[in-house]
Amino acid sequence: MMKVLLLVLIVLSLSFSSSSDEGKKDVIIWYQYHMPPFMVLEGPDQNRGIFDGVVTTLQKKLKYYEHRNLRMSIQRFFRTISNHNNICSALTLKTPDREKYIYFSRPYSILLPNRIIIKKSTHRMLGNPKSISIRSLLLDPTFSTIVQEGRTYKMPLNRILRRHESGGNFKRMNVEMEILFDMFERGRINYLIEYASVAKYYLKKKFEKDYVFLPIEEMPKYYQAVIGCSKTEKGKRIIDQINTIIEKTETEKVFRNSMKRWLSEKEKKEIERIAVDIKLNSPSK
């Protein structure tokens, strides 16, 4: 009798466990990293960053999943995703190397590359150029800058910086972004290699009044923003669903508005021009 009772309890336990598991939602872990204004995890603008809006929109539309946000360093994120652990990110640019371990969505917006940020007085001294060569700037001894330790950039900028590591006019330092911009404003360094939207975030109203952001001649005109998920069966399933969401016009408008909040008027016009060029040059379906 005791054996029969024990068997009944085990069967009931397994049955309860199975029905409980069926009711659970599959989990998507979303990578978070404090990088204003792309992702703002603290302060008065918390959750109002460019990609905060993108992730929030996707989480609302992927309603059959449970969503968990996990803050971690860039290094830890790439270790996590390259080991085929399930995680997704709106902060990751698509590269051939990353495609080995990340599934990427179709593009959902346009991103402008890093610029050279200088004061208007410096710009006049240079003859008011519309763009600048990073190679020639790095070799000019009258200029100086600091690059954050561990910071990487999109190619070919990363490669150019490595090539001029010893002979260029920059040095790498473990310094917070706020301190770096304070040094720039005080004239301790006289240019920055940064996204214009980041510069606008830290320089506030002084940005368009006192500073100029110049395109880097060696860089492409734009990148395309994508979502990246682990190269696993689950990651592929999530990316397929994200692609369906991205294709909807109303989603595209939400993403565009999320990005425009932190762009200068000049950047908005530039992105609009690029978007028109992309549509004109895209093969018709």
Report domain extents, the chain: 25-111+224-259+268-277, 115-215
What's the pLDDT score for residue 252?
67
- Rounded Cα–Cα distance for residues 126 and 164 (Å): 22
Return the CATH number of the domain spanning residue range 25-111+224-259+268-277.
3.40.190.10
What's the pLDDT score for residue 151?
79
Tokens of residue 163, six digits: 């090539």
What's the pLDDT score for residue 22?
47
Q: What is the pTM of this model?
A: 0.78
Contact 114, 194 (CB under 8 A): yes
In sequence order, the 6+-apart residues with CB closer than 8 A to the CB of 95 are 155
What's the pLDDT score for residue 121?
92
Collapse the DSSP code of 78 into the 3-class scheme (helix H, G, I; strand E, B; otherwise coil) and give the result: helix
- Listed residue (106, 278, 251) closest to 270, CA to CA: 278
Task: Identify the bridge partners of residue 29 per DSSP, sorted by sequence position.
Answer: 68
SS3 content of the chain, % helix, strand, coil (to 5): 45, 20, 35
- Tell me the average confidence (pLDDT) per consecutive run of 10 residues in the chain, 285 residues long: 41 36 76 90 89 90 93 87 89 87 91 92 93 94 89 84 88 89 93 91 82 93 91 95 83 70 81 79 56
Q: Could you tell me how many helices (H) and strands (E) the chain has, helices first?
A: 12, 12
Indicate the class that CATH gives domain 115-215.
alpha beta
